[in-house]
Amino acid sequence: MVMNDVEPKITRFSGVLLFIAAFLLLTAIFNVLSPAADKTMIYFYSSETNINNFKSLKMEFDQYLSKFGPYEFQPFKGREAFEKHVKGRKNCLLVMSSWHYRHIYKEYSLTPAAAGVRNGKKYQKRLLVAGGAALGIDAVKTERIASSSSIDHTGSVLKGMLKGKFKANILRILTVPKDIDALMSVGFGMSNLALTTKNSLDELTIVNPVLCKKMKILLEGDETLLLILAVPEGFEKADHKVVSIIKDMALNPDGKRKIRMLGLDGWQALDPSDMAQLES
C-alpha cells in the first residue's frame, strides 16, 4: 500500500524533472542559435589600408551599435577569410574598399549603400612618391615600395598608374601598417618609394614639412572612392534601419569618433557618376 502511494509521486516528480530538463535544453539551443540568427552583422575588411586595430574596432563599434539594436561589427584581417565568410549571407552589411567592391560586387550580388567621406570628399587620389630627386619611374623595377594596402591591391593600383610599362610581378612591395608609415619609411630611408594617398601626404606635410620636401611625386593615379558600405541581395527592407544608423554616425560625436578609426569622417550617398565609376 505504501509503495503504491509513493509510486505516482515519483512518476510526477520525474515528469517535472524531465520537463525542466527539456525546457533548459531548448532554452540553451535557442540561446546558442538566436544571436547569430537575430543579429545583423556588419563585416569589415579593407584591402586599402592595413588596419590592424581589430580588437579596438570591434569593441568600439559593438559598443556604439548595441545602443540601437542587435547589431554586431566583425572586422577581418584577410581578404580570403572575409570573402569566404560573407558569401551567401543576406542578413549583413559589408564595409570594404571601392577597389575590392569593384572586384566582387557581381559575384556577391552587392549594391552600394554609401561611400566613406574624408575631409568632405568621397574620393581620394593615389600617389607614387619617391625619396629623392634622383629617382625616376624606372625605380619601380629595382626599388622597394612601401604600401599600407594589400599586395594584390598595391600591385593592381600600380599597374594602372604605370599603364602597363612594367609587370606588376616584378614589384618589390613592403606592406606597412599605415599610410603615414609608408611615407615615413621613404622619408627616413627604409624604402625608396611609397604608394600612398594625397590625403596622407598633405597631412604629413603639415606635421613634418621638412621631411616631405625630400620627397617627390613620381606618378598620380585616378581618383577612387573611399570605403564602400554595401548591401547584399536579399537584405530585408526592415533591416535598412541599420544602414541609416551607420550613415548617421557622423551626426553623433561618439559615432564620429568611431568612424574616424576607419580613417573616415562620415558617409555619403552615391550619385549616378559615383555608381558609374564604381561599377565600370
Partner 1 sequence: MKVFRYTILLCVLMLLFGADMKTKIMLINSSGTVEKYSVAQEEFKNAIPQPVIEIDLSKEKWKLSDIEDRLYDEYPDLIYCIGTKAYLIANKYVSEKKIIFSSIINWRRLPLTKNTYGVSNELHPGFQITLFRYIFPKVSKIGVLYSEEYNGQWIRKAKQDAAEMGVEIIGKAVGKSRFTLPTLKALLPEIEALWLISDPVVIPEKQTLLELFAESDAQKVPIFSYHPTFTEYGAALVVSVDNPTTGRQAAAIAMDVLNNAKVKEKVELPAGSHIILNLKKVKAYGLQYKEMALGSVNQLIE
Residue 2 neighbours by CB under 8 Å, 6+ apart: none
- The two counts, helices (H) then strands (E), for the chain are 12, 11
- How many residues contact partner 1, by CB under 8 A? 42
Contact criterion met (CB below 8 Å) for 116 and 227? yes
Whichever of 121 and 256 has its CB closer to partner 1, that residue is 256
Q: Is 99 helix (H, G, I), strand (E, B) or coil?
A: helix
User: Is 140 among the residues that bind partner 1 (CB under 8 A)?
Assistant: no
User: Is 204 among the residues that bind partner 1 (CB under 8 A)?
Assistant: yes
Indicate which single residue of 121, 252, 260, 275 sits in contact with partner 1 (rule: CB under 8 A).
Answer: 260
Binding mask 148-167 for partner 1 (x = CB under 8 A): --------------------
Distance CA 218, CA 186 (A): 13
Residues 220-249 that bind partner 1 (CB under 8 A): none
Indicate which single residue of 195, 264, 270, 278 sits in contact with partner 1 (rule: CB under 8 A).
Answer: 264
User: Is 48 among the residues that bind partner 1 (CB under 8 A)?
Assistant: no
User: Is 181 among the residues that bind partner 1 (CB under 8 A)?
Assistant: yes
Helix orientation angle between 253-260 and 54-65, rounded to the nearest 10 degrees: 160
Alpha-carbon dihedral 153, 157, 160, 163, rounded to 10 degrees:
-110
Indicate which single residue of 172, 202, 217, 271 sits in contact with partner 1 (rule: CB under 8 A).
Answer: 172
DSSP alpha helix (H) spans, 66-178: 79-86, 98-104, 139-142, 151-162
Cell matching residue 145: 615600395
Residue range at the interface with partner 1 (CB under 8 A); choices 18-26, 34-42, 228-236, 259-267: 259-267
User: Is 23 among the residues that bind partner 1 (CB under 8 A)?
Assistant: no
Residue range at the interface with partner 1 (CB under 8 A); choices 7-15, 105-113, 174-182, 233-241: 174-182
Whichever of 190 and 275 has its CB closer to partner 1, that residue is 190
Indicate which single residue of 257, 269, 271, 279 sits in contact with partner 1 (rule: CB under 8 A).
Answer: 257
Q: Could you list the beta-strand ranges (E) of the chain.
A: 40-45, 71-75, 92-96, 110-117, 123-131, 144-147, 172-175, 193-197, 215-225, 228-232, 266-268
Cell matching residue 103: 572586384
Please give the residue ranges that form the binding site for partner 1 (CB under 8 A). 49, 51-53, 55-56, 60, 142, 144, 146, 172, 174-181, 184-185, 187-192, 203-204, 207-211, 256-257, 260-265
